[in-house]
């Protein structure tokens, strides 16, 4: 490997440069000091200086240094009791630094417990500032106690604390959320028994992005701007509505794509009534996909769910039912498009009992969020990564001398991926969601555990590997990865007026 050259840094405008280091002072670890003392007792001072010091060092200073080490032999031997201590330059003696009294640390722990009980996030800066405030009240000055990183590390270790990433956030504590969720589950079970409900369904929407770009990738340390390749559709996404019931049955998924309405009012009405919101040309592509993959495909300006889609969903799912049919229950979240008068009236006409999941508790009381959305999204990412691998292999085989161009998936690809991913979710995973939410008599809830058959964490590594491979294919058009890439805009939606 070629030797690295020293970085020169920015060009000095005023002609002032950093003072060059002269390396006048040297530090020696305790092992070297002990070896020098032992060598001195056998071979003498001259041989010791020649062995342990450079020829450019002042011989008299070296002699005085060795004599000083010889006088501190007991101290040096005590510092070499373990290899770890022997490799140190200095040993911090117990009692030299300020030690906080036990009652002061107990007071700090009490403050932490109070904040945790109230759900207040505790950052490093907050812990440091409060520790300095408490110690100042007990007579410690800032020169005696600084709440340094080493003190924080020891404090956290002594009291078995650590900084953790948040898993949930909201106005309710976990205990309060569990209580509300238990009451809601009991209410669902009572209503099932009282109304003679024969089946319970849950439906939930989730986003399927055209490009599943990772939030992080490998880059040299200190890089200010990190670039990744994209196919110019990193902000486009479809909405997928997934439905499952308490027996483990999976229903036809609904997919909503973005499309612009026709400029002609008459054509737009025709598109909405006969072509699921698409124009004539796009519908020629979507209709065969809908039949081939057994899905329902719709289009609107936002590619998101709304009241009209909820009505169409009810008509498609329950068209063979009537008001005298045996009642069934449909669990839905708080989305406003689910709870209009028209939706509730339509559900009643099909003998469907709509049940609203408490606000902020979908992670606890919605079977879709609890069990099957994650394996579904993991599978989507897997097939996206596989698609990139195929593109890279094809480029390497057919056009190795050209610049690689990432091709985003088409609508038909998204439909096929959604269908395959939904087919990959097992019946056991569907029923596990209802059991975890305690909607069945044999329910069991274990907070923080998952029984789903999700893929695991290798997807992020696969995506990063693909991104690294893309970096090796020359300078293609790229965009910096920024947090706003999750924001969906309406630009770029295709207009099909006919």
pLDDT of residue 346: 94
Strands (E) located in 252-358: 254-258, 296-300, 328-332, 352-356
Which tokens belong to 168?
Answer: 């949930």
Could you list the pLDDT tens digit for every one of the 498 residues in the chain? 455 666 666 677 677 777 777 777 788 899 999 999 999 999 999 999 999 988 778 889 899 999 999 999 998 998 888 888 888 887 766 655 667 888 889 999 988 888 887 777 888 888 988 899 988 888 888 888 888 888 899 899 999 898 887 766 666 677 888 899 999 999 999 999 999 999 999 999 988 876 555 566 656 676 666 555 554 555 567 899 999 999 999 999 999 998 888 889 999 999 999 999 999 999 999 999 999 999 999 999 888 899 999 999 999 999 999 999 999 999 999 998 999 999 999 999 999 999 999 988 888 899 999 999 999 988 888 888 788 778 778 877 787 777 767 777 888 989 999 999 999 999 999 999 999 999 986 654 343 334 444 434 445 445 555 555 554 554 334 444 443 443 333 334 444 544
Q: Rounded to whole angstroms, how far apart are CA atoms 374 and 454?
A: 7
Q: Which residues pair with 356 in a beta bridge?
A: 332
Q: What is the pLDDT of residue 93?
A: 65
Domain boundaries of the chain, sorted by first residue: 30-86, 102-158, 177-486
Q: Which residues of 21-60 are buried (b: 16+ CB within 10 A; e: fewer)?
A: eeeeeeeebbbbbbbbbebbeeeeeeebbeebbeeeeeee
Beta bridge partners of 257: 299
CB 385 within 8 A of CB 459: yes
Closest CA to 28 of 4, 6, 48, 47: 48
Distances (CA, A) of 301 to 29, 169, 236: 70, 31, 12
Q: Of the CATH numbers 1.10.10.60, 1.10.10.10, 3.40.50.300, 3.20.20.150, which one belongs to the domain with range 102-158?
A: 1.10.10.60
- For the stretch 74-86, pLDDT in tens is 989 988 888 888 8
């Amino acid at each position: 490997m070629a030797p690295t050259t020293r970085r020169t840094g920015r060009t000095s405008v005023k002609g002032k440069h950093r003072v060059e280091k002269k390396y006048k002072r040297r530090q020696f670890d305790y092992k070297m000091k002990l070896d020098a003392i032992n060598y001195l007792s056998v071979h003498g001072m001259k041989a010791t200086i020649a062995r342990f010091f450079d020829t450019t060092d002042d011989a008299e200073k070296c002699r005085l240094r060795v004599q000083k080490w010889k006088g501190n032999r007991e101290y040096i031997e005590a510092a070499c009791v373990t290899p770890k201590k022997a490799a140190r330059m200095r040993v911090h003696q117990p009692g030299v630094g300020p030690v906080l009294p036990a009652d002061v640390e107990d007071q700090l722990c009490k403050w932490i417990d109070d904040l945790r009980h109230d759900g207040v996030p505790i950052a490093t800066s907050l812990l440091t500032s409060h520790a300095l405030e408490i110690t100042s009240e007990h007579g410690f000055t800032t020169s005696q106690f600084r709440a340094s990183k080493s003190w924080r590390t020891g404090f956290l270790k002594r009291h078995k604390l650590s900084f953790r990433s948040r898993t949930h956030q909201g106005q309710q504590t976990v205990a309060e959320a569990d209580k509300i969720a238990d009451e809601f589950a009991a209410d669902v079970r009572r209503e099932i028994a009282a109304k003679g409900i024969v089946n319970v369904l849950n439906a939930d929407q989730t986003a399927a992005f055209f490009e599943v770009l990772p939030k992080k990738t490998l880059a040299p340390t200190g890089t200010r701007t990190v670039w990744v390749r994209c196919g110019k559709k990193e902000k486009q996404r479809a909405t997928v509505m997934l439905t499952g019931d308490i027996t483990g049955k999976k229903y036809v998924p609904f997919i909503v794509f973005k499309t612009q309405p026709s400029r002609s009012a008459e054509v737009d009405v025709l598109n909405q009534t006969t072509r699921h919101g698409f124009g004539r040309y796009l519908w020629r592509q979507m209709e065969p996909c809908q039949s081939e993959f057994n899905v329902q495909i719709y289009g609107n300006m936002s590619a998101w769910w709304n009241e009209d889609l909820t009505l169409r969903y009810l008509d498609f799912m329950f068209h063979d039912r009537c008001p005298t049919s045996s009642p069934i229950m449909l669990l839905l979240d708080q989305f406003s498009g689910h709870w209009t008068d028209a939706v509730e009236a339509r559900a009643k006409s099909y003998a469907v009992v709509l049940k609203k999941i408490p606000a902020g508790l979908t992670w606890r009381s919605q079977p879709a969020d609890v069990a099957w959305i994650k394996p579904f999204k993991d599978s989507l990412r897997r097939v996206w990564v596989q698609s990139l691998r195929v593109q890279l292999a094809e480029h390497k085989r057919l056009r190795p001398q050209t610049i690689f161009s990432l091709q985003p998936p088409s609508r038909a690809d998204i439909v096929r991926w959604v269908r395959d991913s939904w087919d990959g979710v097992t019946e056991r995973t569907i029923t596990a969601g209802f059991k975890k939410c305690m909607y069945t008599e044999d329910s069991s809830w274990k907070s923080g555990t998952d029984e789903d058959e999700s893929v695991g964490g290798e997807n992020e590594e696969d995506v990063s590997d693909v991104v690294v491979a893309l970096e090796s294919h020359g300078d293609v058009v790229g965009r910096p990865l920024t947090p706003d890439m999750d924001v969906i805009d309406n630009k770029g939606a295709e207009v099909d007026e006919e």
